[in-house]
Amino acid sequence: MPRTRNLLTDSLYHNLLDNLYEGVYIVDNDRKIIYWNEAAEKMTGYSRSDVIGRHCWDNIFMHIDNDGNALCHNQCPLETAMREEKNREAELFFHHREGHQVPVIVRIAPIFDNNGAVVGAAEIFSDNYSNQDLTRKLRELERMALLDPLTKLGNRRYGEMNLTNKLRELKRYGWSFGVLFIDIDRFKDVNDMYGHDVGDKVLRLIAATINNGLRSSDVVSRWGGEEFVAFVANVDEEKLSHVAEKLRMLVERSTVVLSGNDTHITISIGVTLARKKDSAHGIIKRADSLMYAAKKAGRNRVMA
């Protein structure tokens, strides 16, 4: 009997896997999911009944890399691990059931039967950011009344405080940073057609995807309405544009269910590096103007 089946029928292993903090799933040699632990349910939003018996390439996770390449059909790390009979590790994004993108580190090991033939693989995945750091940051923002209650990002006051500090650091120490002014495309149409409850869902989706796409050293806040501002540390123009394009791509790959259909929401981003002579008002105005230029150029794009 293949080891994948033995593993699933052994209650000791079953209980052990279900009590891990990391998400775990196991596939057979056709990449059909035969095991899905409780942490995987919590991290992805998909229950066991949603995924057991389906193939991992059935547009469940829609894994993409940092450049936006879809991996489930042509560059799947799990399939590669099985084919090469070697363990693999990768940093990816998966598509949460609620629609936003989540960064994860995946570790994959092929599973062999008693004759040494590959009969499946196990994948372990964990959040690619510190939950403790995130929880600590949220508590601190709540204490200081700097948290936007809807999106769980810092509010505009929080963003303005960070901007003031970063401009001071730039002028005193030369520490570079960039500003991304982000606006959801056609957000008024969503509110008008589907109501504010759906609009709130879209705001939460976009906020989570943007936050997950940035480094822990970067800061994003809800600036107002459907606008977000991100401050990206230690970048030049090329790196800043790459970060903006990554966020645009991640949001475009996210989905929200509208009238029973998966709908893609897009964003337009104005991108600018801070200059030593900039005021807080001046740099925000410049980034805002570039965002509107992106809108005029057709939306769903980055303008620097």
SS3 readout for the chain? CCHHHHHHHCHHHHHHHHCCCCEEEEEECCCEEEEECHHHHHHHCCCHHHHCCCECCCCCCCCECCCCCECCCCCCHHHHHHHHCCCEEEEEEEECCCCCEEEEEEEEEEEECCCCCEEEEEEEEEECCCHHHHHHHHHHHHHCCCECCCCCCECHHHHHHHHHHHHHHHHHHCCCEEEEEEEECCHHHHHHHHCHHHHHHHHHHHHHHHHHHCCCCCEEEEEECCEEEEEEECCCHHHHHHHHHHHHHHHHHCEEEECCEEEECCEEEEEEECCCCCCHHHHHHHHHHHHHHHHHCCCCCEEC
**Amino acid (one-letter) located at 103:** P
Nearest of 37, 32, 41, 96 to residue 257 by alpha carbon: 96
What is the number of other CB atoms lying within 10 angstroms of the CB of residue 186?
15
Which residues are part of the catalytic machinery?
A: 226
